[in-house]
Structure 1
Amino acid sequence: MVLIWHGTDEVPANIGPTAVTIGNFDGVHRGHQQVLAQLKETARESGSLAVAVTFDPHPAQVHRPDAAPHLIMGLEDRLAALSASGLDAVLVLHYTLEFAQQSAEEFVRRIFVDALHASHVVVGHDVRFGRGNAGDLGTMQGLGERYGFRVVVVEDFTEHIAPAEGVAADDDEQRRCSSTWVREALEKGDVVTAAEILGRPHAMHGEVVHGAARGRALGFPTANLAHDAAGHIPADGIYAGWLVDESGTRWPAAISVGSNPTFAGVSRQVEAHVIDRPDEAPEAFDLYGQQVVIEFVDRLRGMVAYRGPEALVEQMKVDVDQARRVLAGRGSIA
């Protein structure tokens, strides 16, 4: 069982030794996963506990609330992903402007040394910490010598970037996996690239709420996510993906993101139509009030305004058929 500590006061006084890493871990993408794998290996070799230190809220939300990036996942899902990586514990530090005033040395001494009794600290080359992000890798290595912990440096994890159409194959690039790259992909609706960086499909997590019931009236009932659902909303459009209900059952779905311009006055929303749902027993398929996960596999098309419900229904039939083909062989219904 992975221990979750919300603040250093929850860390047992007799903890240690520990191998520690630090980061926002938004998305827990393949770059993060490489750091976590090294952390676990270091902990195993040194007989230490593997501990990840992260922050809530995201520092950018505190320092630049009007310009902070949309988070790839909420805290609950981030902790679940970190726990699934096989760590022993996660320490969540409440991030405030006051907290941010600690010098690099104060931060390391209070968190790594006094609270966690770290014997090893695992970081990437670009690690930054302390007031004004003044601490870097050299700072960490110097503090390691002073306080008696070893610093283990992890190389960047890069992903292949396919050349644009019409560009020679020898112009392929490698780009460092990052949360920024995931967000860029999602804002373009490129959930395939996002999945390659994340190592899994991008997902949103939230409660199913009642909508305007337009989909049901048109013969395509949808599960509407509440507006406070966690996870970065990809670009408007129609997607093939999966809806995972509270029982863990994965249902193939055609997912709509946007305001549905065919109808006036509709706010932006995320809704999923479960393909081939068991309508013969609708009472057994009531998703209202459930906490569900919606996974995005591929974007089928952009959002288009149609000349009326009839034209929209014909397109929805095409969308569902295409989603069914895309998802064939990519998962199963439990």
Structure 2
Amino acid sequence: MALIWHGLDEVPRDFGPTALTIGNFDGVHRGHQQVLSELSRTARAAGSRAVAVTFDPHPAVVHHPDAAPHLIMDLEDRLAVLAGQGLDGILVLHYTLEFAQQTAQQFVENVFVRGLKASHVVVGHDVRFGRGNSGDLSTMQELGRRFGFEVVVVEEYTEHARGGAAVEDDDAEERRCSSTWVREALEAGDVRTAAEILGRPHTMHGEVVHGAARGRALGFPTANLAHDSAGHVPADGIYAGWLVDEAGTRWPAAISVGSNPTFAGVARQVEAHVIDRPDEAPEDFDLYGQKVAVEFVERLRGMVAYRGAEALVEQMKLDVDQARRILEGTARLA
């Protein structure tokens, strides 16, 4: 289990030597996973301990708060996924404008050399660090020679892309896996492409709260996520996916994202209707107040305003049937 430190002062003085990497790791996508896998191999071969260095908040939030991207996941989820990547430690550095004034050498000397006793630094070709992102790969290699650590460069991880999707097609254009590409896919409702880049379904986490109860009145009760739930909200529409409750049980679900146009809804809402829920024992299926995960597998359609409740109910039946077919055969992994 990876140790997690929120600041250099929490790192034990006798921890090290380390093989380390740095990054924002938003989404911990396949490109990140390739770097982390190489990091683990490098650490084992060198007899060092594998450490990922990341930042909170995201630097873009500090430097450009009005134009910062919507994050794919919050810090808690990011750390949980990183901890499952075979690391020995994760160092979270609090990012501020003052912190950002460190030169490339000051940053490396303070964090890598003194703080983590780096023997190896594993990075991609596009690594940038230090004040104004002035440090690049050649800077890192020069500092490695100066301070006695080896720089290991990882090749970019790519997916075939066509028409905004990730596909298995040798004729399709290759695109580097990135957090930006994941966000583009989610904002287009293309959760299948997002899952290809991430290596797992895109997931939101949040508390189930009471809603307007319209779904229950129509025969399709839903678990409504609180508006402060973690994770990038995909484009409005209806999705097939999974709801994972606090016990770890995975329930097939038809998921609605949007503002309920048939009923002139206002606030965007993420709500999941559990398919074939155990209505024979509703007292055992009370999700209110639970912290749940909602996983998006495939988009069924966009959000449409229907002429009254009857037409909406008929469409919801079709949506549930389609979601059930898509999810049949999908393993319910805990």
1:163–1:171 contact (8 Å) kept in structure 2: no
Give, in whole Å, the separation in 2 of the partners of 1:174 and 1:148.
36
Per-residue Cα deviation, 1:10-37 (whole angstroms, up to 9, x for no partner):
0001111000000000000000000000
Partner of 1:277: 277
Counterpart residue number, 1:157: 157
Partner of 1:36: 36
CA distances 1:31-84 after superposition (whole Å, capped 9, x unpaired): 000000000000000000000000000000110111100000111110010001
Aligned amino acid, residue 104 of structure 2 = A
Query: How far does the alpha carbon of each residue in 1:207-261 deviate from its partner, in whole angstroms, 9 at most, with x for none?
Result: 1111111101111000000111110000000000000001000000000000010
8 Å contact 2:160–2:170 — kept in the other structure?
no
SS, match of residue 292 in structure 2: strand
Asked if structure 2 preserves the Cα contact closer than 8 Å seen for 1:163 and 1:173, the reply is no
1:1-334 aligned within 5 A:
1-162=1-162, 171-332=171-332
- Alpha-carbon separation, structure 1, partners of 2:161 and 2:139: 33
Runs of 4+ in 1 over 6 A off after TM superposition: none
Q: How far apart, CA to CA, are the structure 1 residues paired with 2:263 and 2:103? A: 54
Distance change >3 Å, CA 32–CA 304, structure 1 → 2: same
Other structure's SS at 2:261 match: coil
Q: Distance in 1 between matches of 2:128 and 2:290?
A: 40
Determine the C-alpha separation between the residues in 1 that align with 2:54 and 2:281: 44
TM-score by length of 1: 0.97
Distance in 2 separating the partners of 1:59 and 1:220: 42
Q: SS state of the match for residue 242, structure 1?
A: strand
Q: C-alpha offsets along residues 126-185 of structure 1, whole Å, 9 cap, x if unaligned?
A: 0000000000000000000110000000000000113689xxx77510000000000000
Aligned residue for 2:262, secondary structure, equals: coil
Tell me the distance in 2 between the aligned counterparts of 1:129 and 1:270.
37
In structure 2, how many angstroms separate the alpha carbons of the residues matched to 1:70 and 1:269?
17
Question: What is the count of residue pairs matched by the alignment?
Answer: 331
Partner Cα separation in structure 2 for residue 46 and residue 172 of structure 1: 39
Whether the 8 Å contact between 1:251 and 1:333 is mirrored in structure 2 is no
The Cα of 1:267 is off from its aligned counterpart by 1.1
For the aligned residue pairs, the C-alpha RMSD in angstroms reads 1.3
- Aligned residues of 2:164 and 2:185 also touching (Cα < 8 A): no
Residue aligned with 2:263, SS: coil
- Contact kept, 8 Å, 2:60 with 2:69, in 1: the verdict is yes
